[in-house]
Amino acid sequence: MQLEDLILVSVDDHVVEPPDMFDNHLPDKWKELAPRSVKRADGTDVWVYEGSEIPNIGLNAVAGRPPEEYNVDPTRYEEIRAGCYDIHERVKDMNRNGVLGSMCFPSFVQFCGQLFSRSQDLDVGLQMLRAYNDWHIDEWCGSYPGRFIPLSIPPMWDPQLMADEVHRVAKKGCHAVTFSEDPGALGWPNIFQGHWDPFFAACQDEGTVICLHIGSSSTMLGLKDGAPFDVLITMTPLNSMSAATDLLWSNVLRRFPDLKFALSEGGIGWLPYWLERIDYVYQQHRFWTHQEFGDQLPSQVARDHFTFCFISDRAGVEARHAIGIDNITWECDYPHSDSSWPHSPESVIKQLDGVPDAEINKMTYENAIRTFNYDPFSHIPKDEATVGALRSLQGA
């Protein structure tokens, strides 16, 4: 595989929401209640919603900054690349990086749209959340057909409303939704008690993939007094292992046999260990824990329900067959500090040394297309979707 022939679909990037995002998606009577982007006297940009300030416009939106500054969260739109919040600049940054398609997680509303669940008036919160999703699907993703995989946020405070919203946005072509890797850590019921069933059922009905991004529990493995930040960065991907473990041993996967989860930013290199461990736990302990998977092993159940993704993970690529070649996708993580932008193709190709082309294609785009029901090639011919073709658009 030549670098310029790669086709890259990233299943985990981030959007810093632009100041005008609510302008076109709310009836007039709701507009004045919408979150407003406000520039404070010190030049800092903040969102204001129901009288409260949300301080950072884009936590960790550091693409293009020198690594020495990664710890300073930018606080003004002028400090970050326009590609973080401007759709036209974003597509140019994707072209510069040779990236065909992208799924973008939210920023100021938090991973599961928690901001709206804290609304004083939840009816207002629901209007705002729907406007958010409409902006994301119709305006952000809709401006460049074939370039984005839309991703909705759910009204976490009510599983039936969550189900309704899954159905509503599915009609607009959105088949992915963010959820928490550990809703119990956010103060909601955890996944062991059936609370979320209406939501899970709606996702299963619509073929909507539930995306669990690391950090979507607002907790991090490795958070300790005085611990260097490196501890967090090292351990946080394991939040995905924890989330997958919860789901596997709960009865969610068995009760919703067609439900799919994407573990976002969790890496893949730990999977050979984990898949073996869950089978071992099952075979060694099920006589007293009373788990029952019929004629399947837990590792197969996991492969039937989970999709994983990697940024830089040679150990995982080498173990791709132990993991499941159809379960691996790729992510760019633009504009966060783990991102390889604008050198993603160079970073990816190094990790793919010795991997047959057919397997590369599965990991870099085919699995993403299948999993997320994403259809770029009806908009962009395949030979215009490669790294080489996209980079030539920007003269890179």
Instruction: Give the interface with a second copy as residue ranges (CB under 8 A).
Output: 66-71, 182, 184, 190, 192-193, 221-222, 224-231, 233-235, 237-238, 241-242, 245-246, 248-250, 267, 269-270, 272-278, 280-282, 284-289, 291, 312-316, 318-319, 322, 337-338
- The HSE-up count of residue 389 (CA atoms within 13 Å, CB side) is 12
We find the least distance from the C-beta atom of residue 364 to a second copy, in angstroms, to be 19
Rank residues 78 and 276 by Cβ distance to a second copy and give the closer one: 276
Rank residues 30 and 293 by Cβ distance to a second copy and give the closer one: 293
User: Which helix H or strand E contains 95, and what residues bound it?
Assistant: helix 87-96
Distance CA 267, CA 33 (A): 39
We find the least distance from the C-beta atom of residue 63 to a second copy, in angstroms, to be 13
Whether the CA torsion 199, 201, 206, 207 is positive or negative: it is: positive
Rank residues 45 and 246 by Cβ distance to a second copy and give the closer one: 246
Backbone angles phi, psi at 105, to 5 degrees: -85, 155
Rank residues 51 and 226 by Cβ distance to a second copy and give the closer one: 226
We find the least distance from the C-beta atom of residue 132 to a second copy, in angstroms, to be 29
| Omega before residue 356 within 30° of 0, cis | no
We find the least distance from the C-beta atom of residue 243 to a second copy, in angstroms, to be 11
We find the least distance from the C-beta atom of residue 37 to a second copy, in angstroms, to be 27
Contacts of 45 (CB under 8 A, 6+ apart): 19, 37, 38, 39, 57, 75, 76, 77
Rank residues 227 and 396 by Cβ distance to a second copy and give the closer one: 227
We find the least distance from the C-beta atom of residue 333 to a second copy, in angstroms, to be 11
We find the least distance from the C-beta atom of residue 385 to a second copy, in angstroms, to be 28
Distance CA 54, CA 162 (A): 24
Distance CA 9, CA 391 (A): 14
| Omega before residue 298 within 30° of 0, cis | no
Rank residues 56 and 245 by Cβ distance to a second copy and give the closer one: 245
Rank residues 141 and 323 by Cβ distance to a second copy and give the closer one: 323
Question: Residue 183 has what DSSP assignment?
Answer: G
Q: Are strands 52-54 and 45-49 parallel, antiparallel or unpaired?
A: antiparallel
Distance CA 11, CA 97 (A): 15
